[in-house]
Amino acid sequence: MKNIYIFDMDGTLTPSRRKMTKDFEEFYSNWAENHTFFLVSGSNLEKIKEQVPENILNLSEGVFTCGGNQLWLNGELSYNHEFKPENDLLHFLEEKLKESPYAVRAGNHIEDRGSMLNFSVVGRDCSLDQRLHYFEYDCESNERNNIAEEIMIKWDNLDAVIGGQISIDITPKGMNKSQVLGEVKKFFPNEKYIFIGDRTMEGGNDYPLAKIMNNQENCLVFQAGAPSAEDGYKAVSYTHLRAHETPEHRVCRRRGVKKKGGGGGGGGGGGG
């Protein structure tokens, strides 16, 4: 039984909406050559390419984007679950944007990704300083969680979960990261599955997958530091990955042996 790893991106492998750090890129590139892994993110293909180096994408078995609603294999779209939001939901989000006491509006507040809707009060076009400032505000005010809960009360057919530092991911019920385990098992049945994310707690966008895996045999779930932490990748590299290396993997890493026949999401991507 081999280990099959599933990684969230933002807050886990990279700082939110930023490139993978150089030190972690070096570590993870070496690790990836000898392990089997998938990436899963709430973001789309374009955004993940901005954050994760191409060589790492090429070593992955596949990349799940838009919260698991798209799967990219060898740079090609394998499936796409479409979601067309109703006008009443869009109107509700526009009203929440007007009502929020948070002052900054940077643009790109309601982003339709085709298979999910991403909502942000501060806006996805915000600067890094604005992103961090809103994240601090949200940690104190609980604004995103309150909006997400209101959405699920008003629309019992929708899921709304906290994603990254500034946004809410909205999808039809079940069209979230919970889909990923079943898809991974189609490629690698009867193995050991390990998921690492930064929002595995209830209400986070990693929770749907974490909940399923916590209730199945041969599955492990790990929280990568604090939610959306700037250095969550350090917990990934030094705590989780090395702890689960087999003696064979450690020998391969020392010798620089590369994984044979690396398959995967060459151009695909998604981010959290």
Do 5 and 37 touch, CB atoms closer than 8 A? yes
Is residue 8 flagged as an active site residue? yes
CA dihedral 230, 41, 174, 6 (to 10 degrees): -90
Catalytic residue, from 10, 138, 169, 206: name it.
10
Catalytic residue, from 8, 138, 169, 206: name it.
8
Is residue 23 flagged as an active site residue? no
The residues assigned a catalytic role are: 8, 10
